Amino acid sequence: MQDIRLIREQPELIRQAIADKFIDLDLDLVLGADREVLELRQQVEAMQAERNANAKLVPKASPEERPALIQKGKDLGSELATLEPQLREKEEALRTLLLRVPNIPHASAPVGPSDDDNTELRREGEVPQFAFTPLDHVDLLEGQGWGDPERVARVSGSRSYLLKGDAARLELAVLMFALDLLAERGMEPLSTTALVRPETLVGTGHFPGGEDQVYRIEGEELMLAGTSEVPINSLYAGEMIPEADLPLAFAGFSAAFRSEAGSAGRDVRGLIRVHEFRKVEQYVICRPEEGMQWFEKILANAEAILQALELPYRVVQNSTGDMGAGKHLMYDIETWVPSETKYRETHSCSYLTDWQARRTGLRYKGEGGKPQFVHTLNNTGIASPRILVPFLENHQQADGTVRIPAALRPYLGGKEVLGKPF
Ligand SMILES: Nc1ncnc2c1ncn2[C@@H]1O[C@H](COS(=O)(=O)NC(=O)[C@@H](N)CO)[C@@H](O)[C@H]1O
């Protein structure tokens, strides 16, 4: 959410952001709703002041004057009884519109409507040249007996997955490895639920707009979050965080649930796009002046994880149309998937300045004790099973076994290879 003063003072700046992000919002509606609130609020406050002043006169008034004053107080009261609810209604209507006002994209963001306009910043690691015909991750899982797609589909339907034996241990190993690396780098581990109240999804900016991506619990005011960014972002909602406690940096771990509405037909084979997955999430609350350095830090953390797993990847900058309403700056990390001979997104690193903080009510006492909104950032640490796709495919050997990078071996009982030749 944007500062309403900025919208009033620099509407062109916001109109440009709306245009560059291809958002369907008429800023004049926002400005009109704001004016209506201001006018009505001034009227109500004047009337409340008049009623209060009038009420003070009553005890001092003479018997002759008193009835008129009391009647005046009643008239003002009944008028306010009509106007105050109208004001609350107009304030709610304005807030609903304000929730749709986008953040201003960083000047470096490529302007364009979709991820086709993302720009590659750099590549890291050599893509493997196989001396044999590599298998895709589905065939590797099947060959090793590490999956059971038919049975799990009977139990859970499409976009479900199940990992057996060493593959189940591999999933836990990469998650734990990521959590440990982030903890060593000062991110506080946080195991969270995915069950959240609707307002937490407004806080992150998933709502309004992303309702169709979220599973709802029948008959409850609860939903299943698609990322632990959602519960973590609202942990301190409405609080005045002591400045000495900043920055708050978490390595969140949770299950994540997504309906993937609108993705029909995409990535239907295998582990890339499933309804329930597990993610280690980097989430930061910091002072505004530290935002950009935290963006670099959580990006570097994710790269360190990929480098330790010996996976080749590239870093891309998201376009204004791809980054979504709340982002100021966003880079995706895409990891090489041999079977597709292309890089696929495995991490998404975002800096949202105060846009989430304003919607969530995340503040701290800045200089001179003046309340100020914090800045928030998030990035994927690792998400499984998607990361297992490049992991299994890049590290497969001619006999169908999978090489384990040195950094991960301690998490797999020291094993250097998983599986049996097939
Ligand atoms: N349906 C899905 N199935 C498997 N993995 C997914 C799915 N959706 C997202 N992911 C993984 O989760 C990562 C982060 O998802 S994201 O929506 O891009 N970004 C976030 O959730 C942010 N909170 C940063 O993690 C993706 O890069 C991908 O690796």
Torsion 4-10-13-18 (CA) sign: positive
The whole-number average pLDDT for the span 196-212 is 98
Assign 102 a pLDDT band (cuts: 50, 70, 90). very high
176 burial type by CB count under 10 A (0-12 exposed, 13-18 middle, 19+ buried): middle
Alpha helices, H only, 133-197: 137-144, 149-156, 165-184
- Write a three-state SS string for 1-50: CCCHHHHHHCHHHHHHHHHHCCCCCCHHHHHHHHHHHHHHHHHHHHHHHH
- Ligand 1 centroid vs 1 CA: distance in angstroms? 23
Non-local (6+) Cβ contacts of 197 within 8 A are: 221, 222, 223, 234
Q: Determine whether the shortest distance from the Cβ of 386 to ligand 1 is under 6 A.
A: yes
pLDDT at 70 over 90: yes
Q: Determine whether the shortest distance from the Cβ of 334 to ligand 1 is under 6 A.
A: no
- Ligand 1 centroid vs 281 CA: distance in angstroms? 10
Name the residue among 123, 153, 126 with its Cα closest to residue 138.
153
Pocket test for ligand 1, best of 118, 277, 376 (most atoms within 8 A of CB): 277
- In this prediction, residue 279 carries a pLDDT of 98
Which one is predicted more confidently, 37 or 367? Answer: 37
Pairing of strands 223-224, 329-337: unpaired
- Ligand 1 centroid vs 346 CA: distance in angstroms? 7
Residue 396 is classified by DSSP as: B
> Residue whose CA is closest, atom 9 of ligand 1?
273
Decide: pTM greater than 0.90: yes
- In this prediction, residue 367 carries a pLDDT of 78
- In this prediction, residue 321 carries a pLDDT of 98
Q: Determine whether the shortest distance from the Cβ of 346 to ligand 1 is under 6 A.
A: yes
List active site positions. Answer: 258, 273, 345, 348, 386
The whole-number average pLDDT for the span 215-242 is 97
Pocket test for ligand 1, best of 215, 224, 345, 350 (most atoms within 8 A of CB): 345
Contact in structure between 6 and 27 (CB atoms under 8 Å): no
Secondary element (H or E) of residue 276 = strand 276-286
Q: Determine whether the shortest distance from the Cβ of 50 to ligand 1 is under 6 A.
A: no
- In this prediction, residue 53 carries a pLDDT of 96
Q: Determine whether the shortest distance from the Cβ of 227 to ligand 1 is under 6 A.
A: yes
pLDDT at 369 over 90: no
Q: Mean pLDDT score of the chain, rounded to an integer?
A: 97
Contact in structure between 326 and 203 (CB atoms under 8 Å): no
What does the alpha-carbon distance between residue 208 and residue 88 come to, in Å, rounded to a whole number? 20
What is the number of the ligand 1 atom nearest to the C-alpha of 229?
23
- In this prediction, residue 368 carries a pLDDT of 83
- In this prediction, residue 207 carries a pLDDT of 98
Give whole-number Cα distances, 163 to 56, 84, 122, 134, 352, in Å. Answer: 75, 58, 33, 21, 35
Q: Determine whether the shortest distance from the Cβ of 258 to ligand 1 is under 6 A.
A: yes
